[in-house]
Every structure is written in structure tokens, then in C-alpha cells.
Chains A and B, each alone.
Chain A
Amino acid sequence: QVQLQESGPGLVKPSQTLSLTCTVSGYSISSGISYWSWIRQPAGKGLEWIGRIYTSGSTKYIPSLKSRVTISVDTSKNQFSLKLFSVTAADTAVYYCAREGPGMGLFDYWGQGTLVTVSS
């Protein structure tokens, strides 16, 4: 059974870097037929796709966040990570990691989500 679990600080100060890791179990992240994505959801609002990484290391980000985000993968730990730089209160949200594919936008397994609050 495929499971994803987000981890990382729940509180980040403005202008600092938000760092989250997603640990995948029950499936090898390097199997090569899936993408690995991050999605966020501000309280009471809709879903926003942040970006994805393929096991080759190639990435794709939403244009509005492209200058502030990096997604990386560690196949040895079966993990992938999100870094969002220079955060503001607008980045406060529940962050989900998800397995994507074979179609773009097809998220078949999700983590439970982790709330990250940006506040001093």
C-alpha cells in the first residue's frame, strides 16, 4: 500500500525558508513511472499545485512560485522535498505531497497534509 507522509516545521518566520519532506512507503520513488508533486491549500480555500519532480530530477513549477521554490528528490531515502524561499503570511497553508501520474493532474496517493504557518 502506497503511503506518503509530510514532515517539517509547522511554524516559519516571514522572509525565511519553508522546508518540507515527503517520505514515501510501499512504492519505490525511483520506479520511474510517476511524478512527485506538492500541492497547498490555504485555510478555507482551494487547492494550488506548486510543482513536481520526476525521478530523473527534472522539475516543473507553477509560474507564480517558480522564482521561490525548489523541489528535490533523494531516491536513497525514498523521499522528496520542498523548499519555498522568502515566505510571507500568504504562504500559510496546508501542504500536501502526492504521487502524480501517469497523467499530469492525476494524483492517486496523497499525504495527510501538514499545516505550515508563517508568522513572527
Chain B
Amino acid sequence: QSVLTQPPSASGTPGQRVTISCSGSSSNIGTNYVYWYQQLPGMAPKLLIYGKNQRPSGVPDRFSGSKSGTSASLAISGLRSEDEADYYCATWDDSLSGPVVFGGGTKLTVL
């Protein structure tokens, strides 16, 4: 059971906008930055979003992150077939002596 809760699956058609949620608590998402990672099949995860909706170089602006209270969301606009992957949220938890915690992951299918 993950500390952060994500829907196990999401889907959309090419060009559509999809959002993936990540729910936590006041000791993690409520007080800390949330990071988002994309994991393509058979590959290592890749950082997508950090800080206040910042993207590493090379990540298209179709990806955006937001946070409200104890929940966070990743939005993908202009969905493309290559966006089909697993997506994970992550932050750290102050109540558990500060370990990094991940969401359970959301598998995004592009129909």
C-alpha cells in the first residue's frame, strides 16, 4: 500500500488532455514539493516535473504539474502515442522520518 495514492490506470485519445492525480496527506504533499516521473516500458524512470511546475530540459511543455492542499496532478495535453507509459508521483514524508515516498503508479494508455 503506497503512501501516495494514484489511479492504477488512465487513458485518452491522441490530441486529448488527460490528468493523473496523486493524493497524500499534510505530512507529505501538503508541505513538500511533488515530483513526477515517466517510465517507458523496460526503461528507468525519467524526471518530468519538479519544484513549482518546472520541467527539465527536453521535457515538452505539454506536461504540467499542479498541487492543491494534499493532492497533486499531472496534466498531459496534446496526447501522443509516445506518452504511453507509467507515471509516478513522489515526495518526502515528514512524519516517517523523511523517507522519499512514491505513488503506486498510473499506467497511461493512448487509445
For A54, list chain B residues within 8 Å (CB).
none
**Stretch of B10-18, B40-48, B63-71, B74-82 contacting A (4+ beta carbons < 8 Å):** B40-48
Minimum Cβ distance to chain B for residue A115 (Å): 11
For A96, list chain B residues within 8 Å (CB).
44-45
Minimum Cβ distance to chain A for residue B3 (Å): 11
Chain A positions 74-120 with a Cβ under 8 Å from a chain B Cβ? 96, 100, 103-108, 110-113
Query: Which of A48, A52, A105 has a CB less than 8 Å from the CB of B35?
Result: A105
- A57 interface hit (Cβ, 8 Å): no
Whether B35 contacts A47 by the Cβ 8 Å rule is: no
Whether A104 contacts B92 by the Cβ 8 Å rule is: yes
- A70 interface hit (Cβ, 8 Å): no
Minimum Cβ distance to chain A for residue B26 (Å): 17
Whether B98 contacts A104 by the Cβ 8 Å rule is: yes
Which B residue's beta carbon lies closest to that of A94?
A: B44
For A60, list chain B residues within 8 Å (CB).
97-99
Whether B100 contacts A110 by the Cβ 8 Å rule is: no
Interface string of B2-44 (1 = CB under 8 A from A): 1000000000000000000000000000001101010000011
For B2, list chain A residues within 8 Å (CB).
46
Whether B47 contacts A63 by the Cβ 8 Å rule is: no
Minimum Cβ distance to chain B for residue A54 (Å): 13
Whether B91 contacts A105 by the Cβ 8 Å rule is: yes
For B50, list chain A residues within 8 Å (CB).
103, 106, 108
Chain A contact residues, CB within 8 Å of chain B: 37, 46-49, 52, 60-63, 96, 100, 103-108, 110-113
Chain B contact residues, CB within 8 Å of chain A: 2, 32-33, 35, 37, 43-47, 50-51, 56, 88, 90-92, 96-105
Q: Which 8 A-B pairs give the minimum distances between C-beta atoms? A: A49-B100, A110-B44, A104-B92, A47-B102, A46-B105, A105-B100, A62-B99, A105-B90
A/B interface sample: 7 pairs, CB < 8 A: A37-B100, A47-B37, A60-B99, A63-B99, A103-B50, A105-B92, A113-B44
